[in-house]
Amino acid sequence: MSGPVPAGDHEADPGEKRQRQLDFLQGIAEYGVAGLLDGRLEWIAWLEQASRHGRYGFTNTLLIPAQKPAATDVRSYDDWKKQGRQVLRGETGIRILSRSGKPRPVFDIEQTDGVALELPEPASTSEGLARLARLTGDLGLYLDRGQGWTYLGDPAKRLFIAPEMEDLAAATHLAHQLAHVLDVQGRPKAANLDQDACRGARRAFADSVAFLVLTEVGLPTEHLSFSAPRSWAGSDERANAAGAIRVVGEQVVRTASRLRYRLSNLQTVGPDAPVRRAKIREEIAATSSSPASLETPNAELPAADVPREELLAAIDDAHRFFVANLGGSWGASYLVGRGFTADVQARWQVGHALRPRQALVQHLRQRGHSDEAIVAAGLGRFGVDGELIDIFRDRVLLPLRNDDGAVVGFIGRQQNSFAGPKYINTPDTVLFHKHEVLFGLHETGSRLAQGVRPLMVEGPLDAIAVNTVMPETYAAVAGCGTAIGPAHLDALNRYTDLDTSGLVIALDGDPAGRVGAIRAWRHLNEVTGPVDTVRLPTDRDPADLLGKSGQEGVEKALRSVIPLADLVIDERLERFGGTLEFAENQLAAVRAAATVIAGLPSSQAARQVARVASRTQLDPADVTAAVAAAIAPDPPTDLAAAANDFPSPPELRPHTPAREPRTAAPPRRARRTK
């Protein structure tokens, strides 16, 4: 009788077993390449995977997500030990292929515990461009931004960026060119940078490298688009399209890794970061002749020197200016088209930032506000020529308020046809910290106090849509582009008792939404009240539903909720148990689910034990025992055993990774330091 060999079979010859493992992993990689070819796995989705796992090579960018879709930072057992972190007992290794082609295990940060990892400071667009400019010089190349003098060096080493380009466009174009000028050894070479010759696979390669490099320096990538691989890999049956995809993928990962390695030697974080950043700005400013081409960050003027009352007054005047400019703008028409009437716009005091680069600055100066106050309030920033310009230009603006109702910042949305990030926030100031503020919290505060249930959505327009349609059911709030964190829960608890009301989160119904819900669990499981989730239709958020299906569409989508714990536990069962065909898989799934159940209130644990027993077809007593062991585990006797785990065969399914901040997942029991 033939069939899969159970993971616990020890009869097979070790060499034969290793070969089976190798064949299995190669099969997963081939399946991933086939998915890129037939469209099951979009190229941009693969790039998201490569941005996290590219240092392990092209093949492993397919293997890691196939086994653990939510993985963000994977390292070997020994590498985690060097970082002061320990692989948790019972965790299963993610199998990848080493450079010699041998399988070896790695573990995601979610599978470890220990010392908190430091994250680099977020960089502004100008700082990201400055790092790429330094990288250009480090490669022995000359960056020409139309400085007004003649370059007499080697023409093959000259990279030209039009001086009128905005920072993000300039950074993208520069990263694209850098992809073309590295040879197979990672050294700069003469290259044909004629854009007319950059088509097909050549264009896909350079744009893909640009995507990964922009990610490395912390710049947005939403403005980049990619055609289906079949369009450049070849659709002729005689062509080896899969081979072409593999070659381009390997070249993308290799080139991006070399550029990212060089960038790692040009870090601008650490105790002396301000000094180094100032030096970088001086260096890049010397190559720029455009007033708007580079803009220094807001930290140029110390916010602490400006009284809070002056900052609040400047923001209030700016808000009034924005609201007055909404009527007749494209923003007002856009909002009406999405189902937000003029009355709704007025109720939420939506505004519009004009397109001229000094429209707000000139208005605030006329109102008597100093340049220092404008910068410290997060309303303006200085260009390299010393001119103060607006931060928000040609965007719909939604106000962000503190607990007293005062406006402390804004979220700005640009037109769909424009490149760059769809949403931007006010930069962090003494009044505003994006990780702490929730859009709509003050506006819904009275309803929260009356017992209306809080609902967290992804965007501010989603919050307005829900609050407009279902004000007696939900008090909807939205983060400022950040994942749900402890500060958000603290903010909600100031208005309502989450341990009584609980919380509902509404996420997209695609795989990325599911990953987002699972990531939120590590914070939400501390809420003892009921934590539920709404699974929205794929590619439909509440604002989309309001515009396309009206109020009925929003109500229908938000009517049915399920406990978030159900979603998290089901994901554990699927990830660790696969098809649950073998006893080993069933037990592994139960142990994985038990770690989640162990953290639930006793009132919810009994229900989850019954669910897991039903799914795995095991005795509820066995599940209960596993939960008890997870609550009070035996002391580990052989931690090194975790390094030898081999995962059960993952389910081969298309994977779309989360489009969220590309940072390492926080540790389970240790918060990151800033």
By CB atoms closer than 10 A (0-12, 13-18, 19+), residue 422 is middle
CA distance 490 to 493: 5
- Which range has the worst mean pLDDT, 194-203, 576-585, 665-674? 665-674
Name the more confident of 644 and 350: 350
C-alpha angle 506-508-512 in degrees, rounded to nearest 5: 120
89: left (phi over 0), alpha (psi -120 to 50) or beta: beta
Higher pLDDT, 84 or 349: 349
pLDDT for 222 beyond 90: no
pTM: 0.54
- Is residue 572 within 8 Å of residue 596, measured between CB atoms? yes
Edge to edge, what strands does the sheet with 94-97 contain? 74-75, 103-108, 94-97
Residue where the block lists tokens 């089976």: 20
Q: Which residue is it, tokens 């009869």?
A: 11
List pLDDT tens digits, range 370-397: 999 999 999 998 755 568 889 999 999 9
CB 110 within 8 A of CB 70: yes
Q: How many CB atoms lie within 10 A of CB 174?
A: 25
With pLDDT > 90 as the criterion, what percentage of the chain qualifies? 35
Contact 447, 475 (CB under 8 A): yes
586 membership: H or E segment, kind and range: helix 583-597
Distant-in-sequence, close-in-space partners of 452: CB < 8 Å, separation ≥ 6: 444, 471, 472, 473, 474, 475
Q: What is the pLDDT of residue 53?
A: 94
Which fold, 445-566? Dna Topoisomerase Vi A Subunit; Chain: A, domain 2 (3.40.1360)
Query: Between these two residues, 648 and 552, which has the higher pLDDT value?
Result: 552
Note the CATH architecture for domain 295-425.
Alpha-Beta Complex (3.90)
- Confidence bin at 289 (pLDDT 50/70/90): very low
